[in-house]
Structure 1
């Protein structure tokens, strides 16, 4: 499925209703080659704008998981500062401790709730547009702290009232491979939309 075919699928009346498709876990993965990252990021914005037009009336929310993680750390209080600043100050002297804390923060229910609240606020805005999709990107930048499979396993309980489309720079064969190099666990419940 090319990126233009992905647009056609998302614009399809039978697919865009969040109550159709994979009802138990309405999550989909668009898998693409890592070297296409820049192009895919441009296409994500284009798809959002095209779906927003009056012919579709779809409001798409785009979240970059890496940027959201940084924002979460910046607003999370720690001592007299925030976690982001605290970790930056200690990274040189206590690198192992900082890395351990970042791995823990990445799956902390507070971070997942932070994302969920942001999505809910977006969905609550009243206008004439249907809300069908949340696009999630940035997993390449968030590695190794946020692993795609583990994130989905922890976040799936929050996915209600929309379809989650995750953009994955890598390969999906017997298992997911970030950048085609790093082995990740398989996501059996997410439906693959593979760029071939």
Structure 2
């Protein structure tokens, strides 16, 4: 599926209904060649703007999962400092401990709730547009702390009232392959919108 075909699918009225999909599961993955990251970033913004126009009148929220994770760490207290400050200060002398803690934080319910609340707040403030999609990108930057498959299996219960489209820089065969090089994790049940 090309990015143009993706736009056509997202602008289809039947597809926009968040209750349609495979077993009524509203999560999809668009996989693309990691060397085209810059072009895909521009296309994501273009699709959002086109869906926002009066002929569609849809609200699309774009989330860079890496940026949101950093934002979360910068507001999450750890003693007298934030987790971000603590991890930054100790990443060299306590690398293994910081690495392990970051991987735990990425799937902690507090982070998932933070992300969920951010999405809800966005859509609450968008009462003139029809809620349709949340685009999630940034999986290449947040790897290996947060993996696409595990993220979806942990976040799926939060997805209500919209469809989530993950943009994944890699391939999927028997497992996700980030950048087409790194073995990520086993396949998740999100419907693949594969760019081939």
TM-score tier after normalising by the smaller chain length: over 0.9
In 1, the alpha carbon distance for the partners of 2:182 and 2:170 equals 9
Deviation at 1:23, TM superposition (A): 4.6
The alignment covers a number of residue pairs equal to 196
- Contact 2:149–2:188 (CA under 8 A) maintained in structure 1: no
SS in 1 for 2:20: coil
Equivalent residue number for residue 181 of structure 2: 181
TM-score (norm 2): 0.97
Residue aligning to 1:134: 134
Query: Aligned-pair RMSD on alpha carbons?
Result: 1.0
Other structure's SS at 1:30 match: strand
Relative distance call for 1:145 and 1:112 in structure 2 (3 A) is same
Please show how residues 26-45 of structure 1 align to structure 2 within 5 Å.
26-45=26-45
TM-score (norm 1): 0.97
Bigger mean CA offset, 70-79 vs 174-183: 174-183
* SS of equivalent to 2:149: helix
Match of 1:13 in 2: 13
Corresponding position of 1:144: 144
- Whether the 8 Å CA contact 2:28–2:191 is kept in 1: the answer is yes
- Structure 2: unaligned runs, 5 residues or longer: none
User: Is 1:64 aligned to 2:90, yes or no?
Assistant: no
Runs ≥4 residues deviating over 6 A: none
Distance 2:72 2:23 in 1: 29
1:162 maps to 162
Give, in whole Å, the separation in 1 of the partners of 2:186 and 2:123: 29
Q: Match of 1:90?
A: 90
Cα drift, residue 22 of structure 1: 2.8
Partners of 1:132 and 1:87 lie apart in 2 by 36
C-alpha contact (below 8 Å) 2:171/2:178 kept by paired residues = yes
Quote the residue 1:46 is aligned against: 46
- Return the alpha-carbon distance in structure 1 between the equivalents of residues 128 and 73 of structure 2: 34
